[in-house]
Amino acid sequence: MSQTEYDSYPPLFRPRRSPTLPSPDSDDFFNQQVPDFDPVPVIDSECINQKKLDEACREWGMFRLINHGIPLTLLNKLHDHAKKLFSLAYESKQASFTPPISYFWGTPGLTPSGVVIQRDVRAQNFNWLEGFHVLLTPLSQLQYEDPMLDSFRCLLEEYGRQQTRLATTIFEALAKNLQLDSERTRAYLSTATGHLRVHRYPCCFEAEQLRAWGIDVHTDSSVLSILHEDEVGGLQVCSNNQWFDVKPQFDSLIVNLGDMMQAMSDDNYIGAKHRVKVNKHKERISVGYFVLPYEDTVIESSKYKPFTYADFRAEVQRDLKTVGYKIGLQKFKLSETF
């Protein structure tokens, strides 16, 4: 990568000196390799094993979805377009995108429209990522004069339709295991809220010195999140207080449960605690789909005070602005005080 190519990076992510690539036989090179072992439970979308799904949600809050039905041609085109757009100059990305597709960097903390939430200045530790926040519902009303941007929009629309299909199927299986009544099942998943985050994790040549993470430890605020990633790797999940590397597999998806699913299940299912490592010498591209409950639906649980997603989101935004990180479900615990 030449120095001019770093012009696509946000200014704070650009190397202060020309990086030296490791030799193939160096320890540092092998430390960047993807894991051979994959610990994440596997669920077949064509024939969901309810018992295996239940175990995965109780022990991991995450599972790998195979036979998902999304064409590999669509996945390849989406990643190719994302790479080309991320390679544009930083200033161009800032100027070219407005909602329902917006550009951001340095933080996953955004409002529903994609505006960055300004955090407490005492907690300004940047996440080593940039991305496009995509609202799916109004996407069809948008047209770009630039053929590349409009082609990207069309790919996002089709990918969003595929994700809506999968999220509905998965949630119905989860609701069956949890014996949720039909009324709550309908109210607890609003596919109209579905949105995408397309992430690039730039190379970070001084990762140890900067103590940089692509995304630091967190749980998602969603009901479900569905991730597709390239083959670089970096995703880690915590299970039983131990961190595991998730092996990247381009033909599969990673599904993780969010805070809303944990509350709906009375803590029987866990919101997956996860994070993303940066890579010194390889960029990583991922596409995440996030789906929420209806805004005014009251989440009923024996573990938490009744709340709506709007209540939860307001608390999260307040936390980010005041303490610099998400407290999340603990704010609503019946036994907790703050």
Place of tokens 């200033």: 91
29-300, CATH topology level: Jelly Rolls (2.60.120)
State residue 230's pLDDT score. Answer: 97
Burial class (CB in 10 A: 0-12, 13-18, 19+), 295: middle
Phi, psi for residue 318 in degrees, rounded to 5:
-65, -45
Rg (C-alpha) for the chain, rounded Å, is 20
Cα 146 to Cα 97, 137, 151, 218, distances in angstroms: 12, 21, 9, 36
Residue-level pLDDT at 29: 38
**What is the structure's pLDDT at 295?**
92
**Tell me, what's the pLDDT at 115?**
84
pLDDT of the residue at 142: 87
At residue 188, the pLDDT reads 97
Structure tokens that stand for 22 in this block: 């490791």
* pLDDT given at position 325: 87
Cα distance between residue 135 and residue 14, in whole Å: 29
What is d(CA 9, CA 305) in angstroms, rounded to the nearest whole number? 43
* Tens of pLDDT, residue by residue, the chain (338 residues): 444 678 999 999 998 766 655 554 444 533 455 677 889 999 999 999 999 999 999 999 999 999 999 999 999 999 999 999 999 999 999 998 988 999 999 998 888 878 887 765 444 568 999 999 999 999 988 888 899 999 999 999 999 999 999 999 999 999 999 999 999 899 999 999 999 999 999 999 888 887 889 999 999 999 999 999 999 999 999 999 999 999 999 999 999 999 999 999 999 999 999 999 999 999 999 999 999 999 999 999 999 999 999 999 999 999 988 888 899 999 999 975 44
